[in-house]
Amino acid sequence: MPSTYHEQLTEGGRILIPLGDKEDQTLYMFTRRGELLEQTEIAPVRFVPLVGKYSWGGM
């Protein structure tokens, strides 16, 4: 997970993030506990690809 997300979470804050490549992703929930992130695997997912300026290859 990008460190900027970790830095923005307050104590007890949560973030849901799909991790993986374009074909194989898993949805995770991260909860900030002090300086650590508690990780919970939610489910396998597949999101519709983002297109345009902010897509995988758009930057």
**What is the tens place of the pLDDT at every residue in 18-44?**
998 878 899 999 999 998 999 999 999
Query: What pLDDT sits at residue 56?
Result: 66
φ, ψ of residue 41 in degrees (nearest 5): -80, 130
More confident residue, 5 or 14: 14
The tally of domains found in the chain comes to 1
Q: Are strands 36-45 and 14-20 parallel, antiparallel or unpaired?
A: unpaired
Query: Whole-prediction pTM value?
Result: 0.73
Query: What pLDDT sits at residue 41?
Result: 97
Calculate what percentage of the chain has a pLDDT beyond 70. 93
Q: Is the confidence at residue 59, as pLDDT, over 60?
A: no
In which domain, by residue range, is 40 found? Answer: 3-45
Mean pLDDT of 6-15: 92
Would you say residue 35 lies in a domain?
yes
Would you say residue 7 lies in a domain?
yes
- By residue count, the chain amounts to 59
Would you say residue 52 lies in a domain?
no
